[in-house]
A and B are shown apart, each in its own frame.
Chain A
Amino acid sequence: MRPEDLGNFETAWCPGCGNFSILDALKDALVKLDIDMHKTVFVSGIGQAAKEPQYLNCNFFNGLHGRAIPAAAGIKLANKDLHVIVTSGDGDIYGEGGNHFIHAIRRNIDITVIVHDNQIYGLTKGQASPTSDLGFVTKVQPHGVINEPVHPLAMAIALGAGFVARSFSGDKAHLSSMIQQAVVFKGFSLVDVLQPCVTFNKKNNFAWYKQRIQPLPQDYDAHNKTLAFEMALRWGDAIPVGVIYRDGRPAYEDACGLMTEKSILSQGPDPSKLTRILQEFF
């Protein structure tokens, strides 16, 4: 597959938006993975980030705000032969869809969730998001945010996610690598992508992130859960990026015993079994 096969669409994003580089990195990852796009479904919710699948030649399910993850889970459980990639924003996944995020991790269905995390609501014009920093001032939070921000990576690790990574929209090569590893990973994988919002988030801008992001140490052990948890909570002057945590527990599809070989869709229904079942009612 060539990058141009993925299409070149006019977007509804602001000039200079981090979404452009995230889309570029995603395309790069898809090309490098040489993924079969016909066997891939992109799922998103609502928000500027959630428009990403609109700008790819692909199968997509652009669902409701906050509900990308359950739709993705349904798609994967029906047809495990599909790669299912969720791409949505921090408000969508961690806010409106928070409960689904929690339980999708527990289920460990083999889907990849890429969160465009710009710490703000863009499409609704600049309210605090679940990841907005303390004290962050908006029109709705004029005295600054007083809610403790969500720590998505720490939360994911605590819930038993098997692949937890962070990247930055300003480092395309790094982001592409994170996405590639996440897609290949068997089980729930999370890539939280730090991203500036040029229109509404004047605090956490490109330079702010650029100064703070730090690659993980050379000898970092991503299998050490305690260390990973500590790393996931780091925020402020230094923000680590990379694969923070990696674990190998069986994906739902392997654990449930219903689709060990063939997908539910390709097994098809077997109503002939009913004749036997009905006898049990006499």
Chain B
Amino acid sequence: MFKVDLTIKIAGEAGQGLQAIGGLLSRLFARKGYHVFANQVVQSRVRGGHNWFAIRIADRPVHSPSFKTDILVALDAESSCHSRELDKDSIVIFDSRQAAFPAGTGRMLDVPMAELASKAGGNKLMVNTVAASLVLGLLNFDSGEFFAFLAQSFGKKDKETGETNVKVARAGYDFARKLTPAVKTTDVSRPAGKPKMLVGGSEAVALGALAAGCQFISAYPMSPSTGIMTYLASQADLCHIVVEQSEDEVASINMAVGASFAGVRAMTASSGGGFALMVEGLSLAGMVETPIVVILAQRPAPATGLPTRTAQEDLLFAIHAGHGEFPRVVMAPADIEGCFYATARAFNLADKYRIPVIILTDQLLADSFVTIDALHPEKIRIQRYLMAEGELEQAKDYKSFLLTPSGVSPRALPGNPYCFVTADSDEHDEYGRITEDLDEMRPRMVEKRNRKTKGLLRELKGPSWYGSRNAKEVLVGWGSTYGALKEAVDALQAGGVNVALAHFEDLWPMDKRHFEFLKKVRLAVVAENNFTGQLANLITRVTGVAMDRRISKYDGLPFTAQEVVDAYKDLRKKGGRR
């Protein structure tokens, strides 16, 4: 198990700079070689409310939040709601002159943070810096490294701000060091490994797109998907990528399909409501057989739902979205590193089969940051499946929708000097011209488009398996729950339960053959961040096996391992097959 597993929670109002200190601490621990998982829980507002930034620091990879809080920095009165996460060793840092914290479980450190900041020459906003330095002081984090990082990060704006921040940090750090003989904590003065990258989920998707050679994104801002477009905009000039903020999501997808038709790799991103508007365009991409990658960053719905919270409610929606029948791939990366590779793979699949590929992420992935040893763009081969110049020259009679055994027609781009390239949302013949030939062409075209599923079934992976192959019980999940489920399996195994995890990244098309494992287990439990059990129902539909043992969480927050363990144990007591 863990030697180090420490959760620091910075809680306060929006506008107090929680993200700034949270980001700073996360980065410092990543540099020190620790595994970090940081997530933000915020209300859908710009100022006020009660928000927090949780940083979990461990000596092993972690991908989910922990229920327990070891160090709570309480910057507002509402932070007392975290009292239930504290145990007797937990530390609460607060400033009673600014916001009181009720006495209770844990060790209370009432620190005059505002006063420390102002005495050191800082302003009110630098309470942030004091808070960070108190945490680092208590943990005996190397002060030199900390101050150098501060000077560098804040010094980017202007040197003076950098220097003031270091002064304020020194005051906080020294204050904490004086407390440490009395307040025992974990010591993090020694590096835990090589420096690691700290990457956010939206960034990972964007980086995956860049690695795949994506050159076009049109999107409309919508939490929690906006970070993708924002990151790509920051690299647009360097990477020759058009980032267009569209007037609505209908435009987003139609622009992207247009750009893809013209020949560049194109994507769009939204959350459930925006994706709902894109559905017509998704069907268009299926009909005109134009590759496109759509990121659907899920949040709790229906309608506007909870814009800044997390859910896995759109699996069945993604699989069924679009009028008419056309193949598409739906995948849901398990973690932030997976977002990078899944996005890159999505572009190759979209091009190979001339189809839309949907990637399901969610607020947990999008707004979290995790340490990664390294991302390997060199492992990504860009495969465009376009006709070569020589082939085009030969093709006297090019047909954009040539009927082929695989269902995939050779693809040319408009602008070539040899042939005309067409796309028609009406039913069309092989030349892409409108047809109402119901005897021949319509059925042939339906079959051609849907024939692609055969090839796709060969491409898509079965579940990743964690735990013993002979396990008699299995926990089943998909997408971002991976981290929590894996930890839950560890904990259950430690408690003597022979359980494994079957976790799905590739979700559609779904292959019956990937469910052989269900025959070998006595109990299968599906855990999902939704109410109705969407994956469970889908598995039943595809395999005919009833999946009625379920763990559902739909309060807008991600699973913690402990919750899964508790729910799993309850289900076991009930017993029964599956």
Q: Check if B265 is an interface residue, CB within 8 A of chain A.
A: yes
Q: In angstroms, how far is the closest chain A Cβ from the Cβ of B362? A: 22
Q: In angstroms, how far is the closest chain B Cβ from the Cβ of A209? A: 29
Q: Check if A39 is an interface residue, CB within 8 A of chain B.
A: yes
Q: In angstroms, how far is the closest chain A Cβ from the Cβ of B269? A: 15
Which residues on the A side are within 8 Å of B288 (C-beta)? 61, 63
Provide the bound-state CA to CA distance between A256 and B212, in Å: 23
Among A143-151, A215-223, A274-282, the one that faces the other chain is A274-282
Which A residues from 39 to 73 make CB contacts under 8 A with B? 39, 41, 43, 46, 51, 54, 57-64, 67, 70-73
Q: In angstroms, how far is the closest chain B Cβ from the Cβ of A219? A: 38
Which B residues from 276 to 335 make CB contacts under 8 A with A? 280-281, 284, 288
Q: Check if A199 is an interface residue, CB within 8 A of chain B.
A: no
Among A17-25, A177-185, A238-246, A261-269, the one that faces the other chain is A261-269
Provide the bound-state CA to CA distance between A271 and B198, in Å: 20
Most buried by B among A46, A63, A71, A81: A71
Contact A271 B197 (CB under 8 A): no
Contact A274 B377 (CB under 8 A): yes
Which B residues from 440 to 497 make CB contacts under 8 A with A? none
Contact B264 A61 (CB under 8 A): no
Contact of B414 among A41, A275, A282 (CB under 8 A): A41
A57-B420, A64-B284, A70-B246 are contacts. A79–B263 as well, Cβ < 8 Å? yes
Which residues on the B side are within 8 Å of A275 (C-beta)? 377
> Contact mask B413-450 → A, CB, 8 Å, 1/0?
11111101111111000001110000000000000000
Which residues on the B side are within 8 Å of A62 (C-beta)? 422-426, 434
Which B residues from 177 to 201 make CB contacts under 8 A with A? 195-199
Q: In angstroms, how far is the closest chain B Cβ from the Cβ of A92? A: 12
Contact of B434 among A43, A51, A67, A274 (CB under 8 A): A51
Q: Check if B509 is an interface residue, CB within 8 A of chain A.
A: no
Among A97-105, A156-164, A167-175, the one that faces the other chain is A97-105
Provide the bound-state CA to CA distance between A134 and B289, in Å: 42
A75-B259, A79-B262, A271-B210 are contacts. A282–B420 as well, Cβ < 8 Å? no
A41-B414, A281-B198 are contacts. A61–B240 as well, Cβ < 8 Å? no
Q: Check if A35 is an interface residue, CB within 8 A of chain B.
A: no
Q: Check if A270 is an interface residue, CB within 8 A of chain B.
A: yes
Which residues on the A side are within 8 Å of B195 (C-beta)? 282
Contact B420 A58 (CB under 8 A): yes
Provide the bound-state CA to CA distance between A78 and B281, in Å: 18
Provide the bound-state CA to CA distance between A257 and B212, in Å: 23
Contact B240 A267 (CB under 8 A): yes
Q: In angstroms, how far is the closest chain B Cβ from the Cβ of A228? A: 25
Q: In angstroms, how far is the closest chain B Cβ from the Cβ of A124? A: 15
Contact A282 B197 (CB under 8 A): yes
Residue of chain B at shortest CB distance from A272: B377
Which residues on the A side are within 8 Å of B261 (C-beta)? 61, 71, 74-75
Which A residues from 230 to 261 make CB contacts under 8 A with B? 256-258
Which B residues from 196 to 239 make CB contacts under 8 A with A? 196-199, 203, 207, 210-216, 218, 235-239
Provide the bound-state CA to CA distance between A177 and B65, in Å: 66
Q: Check if B77 is an interface residue, CB within 8 A of chain A.
A: no
Provide the bound-state CA to CA distance between A103 and B434, in Å: 29
Provide the bound-state CA to CA distance between A81 and B262, in Å: 11
Which residues on the B side are within 8 Å of A268 (C-beta)? 213, 215, 240
Q: Check if A77 is an interface residue, CB within 8 A of chain B.
A: yes
Provide the bound-state CA to CA distance between A51 and B196, in Å: 56
Contact of B211 among A64, A74, A274 (CB under 8 A): A274
Q: Check if B75 is an interface residue, CB within 8 A of chain A.
A: no
> Contact mask B396-423 → A, CB, 8 Å, 1/0?
0000000000000000011111101111
Contact of A39 among B260, B415, B433, B434 (CB under 8 A): B415
Q: Check if A139 is an interface residue, CB within 8 A of chain B.
A: no
Provide the bound-state CA to CA distance between A71 and B280, in Å: 13
B-side interface mostly: mixed
* Number of interface residues, chain B, beta carbon within 8 A: 70
Which residues on the B side are within 8 Å of A274 (C-beta)? 207, 210-211, 239, 377
Which residues on the A side are within 8 Å of B266 (C-beta)? 74, 78
Q: In angstroms, how far is the closest chain A Cβ from the Cβ of B189? A: 20
Which residues on the A side are within 8 Å of B518 (C-beta)? none
Residue of chain B at shortest CB distance from A276: B238
Q: In angstroms, how far is the closest chain B Cβ from the Cβ of A26? A: 16
Q: Check if B155 is an interface residue, CB within 8 A of chain A.
A: no
Contact A273 B238 (CB under 8 A): yes
Q: Check if B87 is an interface residue, CB within 8 A of chain A.
A: no
A73-B255, A78-B259 are contacts. A269–B420 as well, Cβ < 8 Å? no
A78-B262, A278-B197 are contacts. A103–B247 as well, Cβ < 8 Å? yes
Which residues on the B side are within 8 Å of A71 (C-beta)? 254-255, 257-258, 261
Q: Check if A82 is an interface residue, CB within 8 A of chain B.
A: yes
Which residues on the B side are within 8 Å of A273 (C-beta)? 210, 235, 238-239
Contact A74 B254 (CB under 8 A): yes
Contact A281 B426 (CB under 8 A): no
Which residues on the A side are within 8 Å of B423 (C-beta)? 60-63
Contact B242 A264 (CB under 8 A): yes
Which residues on the A side are within 8 Å of B418 (C-beta)? 38
Contact of A64 among B196, B254, B377, B414 (CB under 8 A): B254
Most buried by A among B248, B258, B374, B414: B258
Contact of B256 among A37, A74, A79 (CB under 8 A): A74
Q: In angstroms, how far is the closest chain A Cβ from the Cβ of B556? A: 29
Q: In angstroms, how far is the closest chain B Cβ from the Cβ of A200? A: 21
Q: Check if B503 is an interface residue, CB within 8 A of chain A.
A: no
Most buried by A among B195, B213, B242: B242
Contact B238 A82 (CB under 8 A): no
Which residues on the A side are within 8 Å of B264 (C-beta)? 78-79, 264-265
Given contacts A59-B420, A103-B246, 11 further A-B contacts (CB under 8 A): A41-B415, A60-B423, A74-B260, A77-B242, A78-B263, A99-B248, A103-B251, A265-B413, A267-B240, A270-B240, A281-B197
Can you give 10 contacting A-B residue pairs, CB < 8 Å?
A57-B420, A62-B434, A71-B254, A74-B218, A258-B237, A265-B262, A271-B380, A274-B211, A274-B239, A277-B239
Give the A-binding residues of B (Cβ under 8 A): 30-31, 195-199, 203, 207, 210-216, 218, 235-242, 244, 246-248, 250-252, 254-266, 280-281, 284, 288, 374-375, 377, 380, 382, 413-418, 420-426, 432-434
Q: What are the 10 A-B residue pairs with the smallest beta carbon separation, nearest first?
A: A74-B258, A269-B213, A71-B258, A78-B262, A74-B259, A74-B255, A70-B254, A59-B414, A103-B247, A78-B259
